[in-house]
Amino acid sequence: MPVEIGKVVEGTVTGITNFGAFIQLPQGKTGLCHISEVADDYVKDIRTYLKEQQKVMVKIIAIDGNGKISLSIRQAQEKPPKKSNQPAQLDWQKKSTESNLSFEDKLSKFLKDSDEKHQQLKKNMRDTRRGNGFNNKKDA
């Protein structure tokens, strides 16, 4: 099986350095998996992720003119599908109960609801002040 860019193959870790791991591929060829291609997380010490003689799946990401092979362990792993950033779909055909109201009725309803909320806030503020010992009377 020839070494081709984009293929995912199984390899064996043959050496570990501070900057990456050397991995022997099928047919006896060796490539380098840079430390940045070991995991999706930040890798401070590659030895916490890999051990010598460990079997790993790698993706061949580049072969330069000198025959040096660049590998990636993280790109060889299957990723769960990303969640869509699309907004929720709305059913524009659905009729709401307020859509049958005239503008004046909607405005009247809004003012009534707003006034009720305002009155409730005022009451809560008075109750809070009384409960915390704030009142207008001077202590005797």
| Tens-binned pLDDT, residue by residue, of the chain (140 aa) | 678 899 999 999 999 999 999 999 988 899 999 999 999 889 999 999 999 999 999 999 999 989 899 999 999 987 766 666 777 776 666 666 666 788 888 899 999 999 999 999 988 888 877 765 455 555 44
Beta strands 55-63 and 69-72, pairing class: antiparallel
pTM above 0.75, yes or no: no
8-76: what fold? OB fold (Dihydrolipoamide Acetyltransferase, E2P) (2.40.50)
Domain ranges of the chain: 8-76, 98-131
At 106 the three-state DSSP class reads helix
For the chain, helix (H) and strand (E) counts, in that order, are 1, 5
